[in-house]
Structure 1
Amino acid sequence: MDIRSVIAAQNYAGARPATQADPDHQGAAQGLRATFQDFAATLKHSEQVAQSSMVGQADPHALVQALAQTELAVETAVIVRNKVVEAYQEILRMPV
């Protein structure tokens, strides 16, 4: 057996744990999950305030504030979506 293949096999075996998923690691997936949960919570809160306002239980100022927060959240989501689509299109344009 060639010494280079033995060294390559040893290096591969040593590097293999780096490719395994670490369930305790709080990476980008956790950050995205928290962002989506915050977005959903903002929409839900705004809906509750709007319903309360319709029956006269919430003041108009709270309704305007909730709608402004929702508008900002939706605009942010649209901007992020556009950036993701733009990045995907840029990747598709790359020569192979």
Structure 2
Amino acid sequence: MSGRTRVSACPERTCVGCRERAVKGDLLRIVMVEGDCVPDQRGTLPGRGAYVHPTLVCHDLAVRRRAFPRAFRAQGPLDTTALRSYVEQVTP
């Protein structure tokens, strides 16, 4: 035995809105589908994903900073209306 305790590592991701690191389970995964940013609640949709806190503050920061096109390596603005309506429903 090496004397070390086994710690289960929780994967962390960075929110593209506030740029803070958080546990993957606390963030909402976003994927790009045909030029639209859509929420991936189960985390199983194919493609490159970006993570954001499910709050309007982080969503608005990400849109203002143009973080979604940068995260997805896309040219031009992306439609985030579906994402915004989802975040509004989830936020208490």
**Structure with higher strand content:** 2
Compare the two structures and name the one with the higher helix fraction. Answer: 1
Which structure has the larger Rg? 1
Which TM-score band applies after superposition, normalised by the shorter structure? under 0.3
Identify the structure with bigger relative contact order (alpha carbons < 8 Å, sequence gap 6+): 2
Q: TM-score, normalised to structure 2's length?
A: 0.25
**Structure 1 length as normaliser, TM-score?**
0.24
